[in-house]
Chains A and B, each alone.
Chain A
Amino acid sequence: MSADVNAQLEARRRVVFGESDVSDFPDGDSDKDLPTEVMPLMMGPSHPAMHGTIRIALEVEGEKIKTADIQIGYLHRCFEKEAEYATWTQIFPYTDRLNYVSPMLNNVGYAIAVEKLLDIDNKIPERAQYIRVIVGEISRITDHLTCLAAGAMELGAFTVFFYLIKTREWLWELLEEVSGARLTHSYVRIGGVVADLPSGWPAKLLDILAKTRTALSDADKLLTRNKIFRDRMDGVGIIARADVEGWGLTGVVARSTGFDYDVRKDHPYLVYDKLDFEVPVGSTGDNFDRYACRLAEIFQSMRILEQALAKMPEGPFIIDDQRVALPKKRDTYNTIESMIAHFKLIMDGLHVPPGEIYSFTEGGNGELGFYIVSNGEGRPWKCRVRPPCFANLAVLTKVLPGLFIADVVPTFGMINMIGGECDR
């Protein structure tokens, strides 16, 4: 053993002092390779590209990754445990904090699940369904904008980051006007939404969409044919089409491989079957495909928004059922029945009949599922979220080995792992 070490040291000394050539070195992988040993490297949780919520324990050989152990849980806030102690309506603020760059989509997904348990999913007013589609698609745009902006910034494209984050801020201001909160909206309620859209809001939305198009076109010009960007995206982090089903991949990550599955198309909910849009699908499953799919999806979401604004009917924005939705304030103060209904809903919460449901919608990252068990009380027995980016992130344990350390940054960025949703 020690004789081997001594021989290696001697060989290395000879190379260093120019007495022999690298190719003479005994243990090199190939003629020209310097021998390396496997080294552990901890990437994160404070690494800027790891979003502060994840650690990847890499084993590297030189610059090449041999194994990657992805460690999550830094942002675990006991969503399920808290939900078991909250009334059905009190869970909405918790769902805001799942995927915190598209909170409206989580609100909508959870509301639909509970409505199915209550068997009122076909009684939701049409206007409420359109409003849900509109706020949901705005959230989908902000979700994709965040991913593209952060992903570009991590590769050095800071200008793009500013363009897109500024756009995201305009959209969030619109949602703030609707819900009163910039980020944690809690706008959707079981049976509808909490308030109607403000007057003049649709015109503002159309105005912002025009500005969004300009910003996206600027970002597109800066990135899509940029050699520095393409070099780090093309052919890097390839996810095979064959891995999609086994790993449970959904959303952009699955579609980038050519797997054409979008819940909005394949199992339409709300009013998506009345709207005309396309599902962008990639072919190779590399980072660039995921970037291109996200960019194309934003344009499709804007198409949906414009159609939904045009088609949205007038009418109530929440179901007229005092067992589920709060009565109007005017009635609460003036009639005894409404006051009792108000009191019961606030103090006991609404009662959901016993049953189990797995309800799924298209979230920002893919199939956002809610598996809810009710035993007939005012609180859920179990409220499980099937987080899309949990499955999408797990596949990196297979994708990362064989890549270089620098490839981790764009590959991880284009998965769009959101800590709040992944760790719950």
Chain B
Amino acid sequence: MAKIVLDKLTERFAPGDILETGSQHGNEWARVVPAAWFQVAEFLRDDPSLRLNMFVDLTCVDRLPREPRFDVVLHLYSSEKKHRVRLLSGVPDNQAVIDTLVPLWPGANWFEREAFDMYGVRFEGHPDLRRILMYPEFQGYPLRKDYPKEKRQPLLRRLPGSV
């Protein structure tokens, strides 16, 4: 149903930007390079024949040991055309940065904060990139595959110099 979205994307963007498209279990998805992340999302939102104007979900997947290690995953919905698309973009471990989508959808704010909190992927240009579910003193990123499930951390760390 949403095949038109993928066709439009491959038609509008260079093959270097759209790496792969596909469809599985009724979900259409496209994989883009991080550099084209913002432009593709903006195109999907504004193109009159696609109108994927509704922000649904944004998260990350840690695909260790694959390189690039993290996938940033965005789900969009068109409230007018009733179709959906999933957008993925791989970012490497040593350069886990991608453009923020807050200028396009203000609701992306908390979702990007959560992705940063859980996976340590930074969103360039985010207005307020703080931890959201964990506390500020927490060290590490709990949903990374190399973060042990049983690891314990003190709730608050002693400040240096305090007794």
Contact = CB atoms under 8 A, between A and B. Distances in A.
B57 A358 contact: yes
A386 B74 CA distance: 11
Interface residues of A, number: 42
B107 A391 contact: yes
Given A73-B135, A245-B53, A390-B110, A369 B75 contact: yes
Given A73-B134, A81-B142, A394 B75 contact: no
A355 B24 CA distance: 8
B10 interface: no
Contacts of A246: 55, 105-107
B102 to A, nearest CB: 10
B155 to A, nearest CB: 12
A336 to B, nearest CB: 34
Contacts of A85: 149
B19 to A, nearest CB: 16
B132 interface: yes
Interface string A364-403: 0001010101000000011010100011001100100000
A116 B26 CA distance: 9
B49 interface: no
A78 B149 CA distance: 9
Contacts, number: 96
A51 to B, nearest CB: 16
B61 A394 contact: no
A117 interface: yes
A80 interface: yes
Contact of B107 (A78, A356, A395, A423): A395
Contacts of B132: 72-73
Interface in B16-70: 24-27, 29, 53-57, 59, 61-62
A357 B134 CA distance: 27
Nearest to A395: B107
A365 to B, nearest CB: 14
Nearest to B52: A245
Given A245-B79, A246-B105, A358-B75, A80 B133 contact: no
A266 B82 contact: yes
B143 interface: yes
A248 interface: yes
B54 A248 contact: yes
Interface in A61-117: 72-73, 76, 78, 80-82, 84-85, 116-117
Nearest to B56: A248
Contacts of A81: 142-143, 149
B82 A248 contact: no
Contact of A259 (B27, B79, B86): B79
Interface residues of B, number: 35
Interface in B96-121: 105-107, 109-111, 114, 118
Interface string B75-95: 100010010101000000000
A78 B82 contact: no
A242 to B, nearest CB: 11
Given A73-B133, A267-B82, A391-B110, A245 B54 contact: yes
B25 A117 contact: yes
B9 interface: no
Contact of B59 (A84, A117, A384): A384
B135 A247 contact: no
Given A371-B75, A394-B110, A386 B57 contact: yes
A366 to B, nearest CB: 11
A266 B81 CA distance: 11
Contacts of A261: 79
Contacts of B25: 116-117, 119, 355-357
Given A116-B25, A398-B106, A367 B56 contact: yes
B73 interface: yes
B153 to A, nearest CB: 13
Nearest to B59: A384
Nearest to B88: A356
Interface in A237-283: 243-249, 259, 261, 266-267
A249 B105 CA distance: 11
B107 A369 contact: no
A356 B110 contact: no
A81 B73 CA distance: 18
Nearest to B117: A73
A422 to B, nearest CB: 9
A398 B109 CA distance: 12
Interface of B: 24-27, 29, 53-57, 59, 61-62, 73, 75, 79, 82, 84, 86, 105-107, 109-111, 114, 118, 131-135, 142-143, 149
10 contacts: A72-B132, A73-B134, A73-B135, A76-B133, A84-B149, A243-B106, A248-B107, A358-B57, A358-B84, A386-B56
Interface of A: 72-73, 76, 78, 80-82, 84-85, 116-117, 119, 243-249, 259, 261, 266-267, 355-358, 367, 369, 371, 373, 381-382, 384, 386, 390-391, 394-395, 398, 423-424
Given A356-B24, A358-B75, A386-B75, 8 more contacts: A73-B134, A81-B142, A116-B25, A246-B106, A248-B55, A261-B79, A357-B25, A371-B59
